[in-house]
Amino acid sequence: MLAICSGVAVGLTAAIVGTNPPALPLTTERIASLPLEQQAVWMAYLERSTRQSAADRAFLQTERKEHAVKKLIIPSATRNAEGIALDKPADWYGKAKARRIANIIVSFQTPAGGWSKNLDMTRSVRVPGESFTPDSGWNYVGTFDNDATTTQLRFLAKVITATGANNASDRAAFQRGLDYIFDAQYPNGGWPQVWPLQGGYHDAVTYNDDAMPHVLEFLRDVAGGQNEFAFVPVETRARATASLKRGIDCVLATQIVVNGRRTVWCQQHDPLRLQPASARNYEMPAQASSESAAIVLFLMQLPNPDSNVVAAVRAAAAWFEKTQIRDVAFRKVWGRGRLLVSAPGNGPLWARYYEIGTDRPIFGDHDRSVHDDVNEISRECQNGYGWYRDSPKRVLERYAQWSREHP
């Protein structure tokens, strides 16, 4: 279990209280610092990622050469996975519109087996020489960020179930996507944000935007073999079960412990040390309320939680109770952007980030400075980020019943 001692003492209000350190990627040099018996499996993982990254790039280069595509074709973008509907009646997935979207999904599957984020899957199938990602660079080419990969796989499962046996291409794509998830899983059970590895904070075990919780939920459903996943072979379901267990073990291992007490989780954790890690300049190592809420909601869905899961949930719920904030609101103030203001009766709210060791809210800025007052960071950061959330409220509402079921 991850243990962290009490952190920096509480200072005066409206102060810069720290600097956000850069995240460390997974490298051979870092792996060499591990105990000797752990190095081989991590080196094999990194080498597999490097080979796959080269193969993915070579695939696109070969396409462009063979089809004389001089200028890279950029596909249409959308927000997250919009357009890939997962809430339609079961028979809808056997109709022409769903079939068309499935064809587009399959066409944009990367050679590694995943999908990039923010792709519009409602326009047209990918053509030779077209990028796998809606930008001109090689970014997020295979990712779990912004609902990517798991959403495409869930859609394909629904289409496969609705259309029966006459969909070999969908089944093959689904299996490749599952293999992508298995290949991307770290030896310690976590998943990076991007695979093959992209470096920087993308290599961290990523709970941000519910990336890893979405993978765990997907594996849980595949392992269960119910509804649209009934077609999944028994041996594949067994592999999903084993992968899910390792993922849950990683979740428990990354729960932050302060002075012997479990609390919650960071948005991302270092892939080797599992310590809280930074991401973008304004996303520092901290206890993250929103991402932690998603983790706890997932853990409370497990049908037969063991004592470690029960202890993790109870501790996190206690932390949410302790850190809730009332009688304030984070809203637009004319002429000044979004600010934290007095609002009697409002709440509960939670800051997105809390300092490890003190539980005080903290806020990052583009220059990597860390503040203890959201009203003191730059206007751009104030307005462009969700510094306060109410998502832990759902946890406490669900926990009231769950705690009685798991005394």
Rg of the chain over all Cα atoms, to the nearest angstrom: 22
Query: What stretch of H or E contains 349?
Result: none
Measured CA to CA, the distance from residue 237 to residue 239 in angstroms comes to 5
Backbone angles phi, psi at 381, to 5 degrees: -70, -35
Question: Is the Cβ–Cβ distance between 364 and 381 less than 8 Å?
Answer: yes
CA nearest to 363, candidates 13, 22, 23, 3:
13
Q: Produce one character per residue of 48-67: b if its CB has 16 or more CB atoms within 10 Å, e if not.
A: ebeebbeebeeebeeebeee
Look-up of token digits 């792709």: 119
Query: What stretch of H or E contains 195?
Result: none
The one catalytic residue among 20, 146, 167, 208? 146
Let me know if 146 is a catalytic residue.
Answer: yes
CA nearest to 122, candidates 70, 78, 183:
78
CA nearest to 181, candidates 191, 170, 167:
191
Q: How far apart are the first and last CA of the chain?
A: 22
Measured CA to CA, the distance from residue 2 to residue 277 in angstroms comes to 13
Let me know if 171 is a catalytic residue.
Answer: no
Q: Residues near 379 by Cβ (< 8 Å), separated by ≥ 6?
A: 336, 337
3-state secondary structure of 256: coil
The one catalytic residue among 99, 100, 176, 280? 280
Query: What stretch of H or E contains 200?
Result: none
Query: What stretch of H or E contains 290?
Result: helix 289-299
Q: Is the dihedral of CA 391, 397, 401, 406 positive or negative?
A: positive
Measured CA to CA, the distance from residue 47 to residue 52 in angstroms comes to 9
DSSP characters for 374-388? GGGS-HHHHHTS--E
Q: Which residues are catalytic?
A: 146, 280
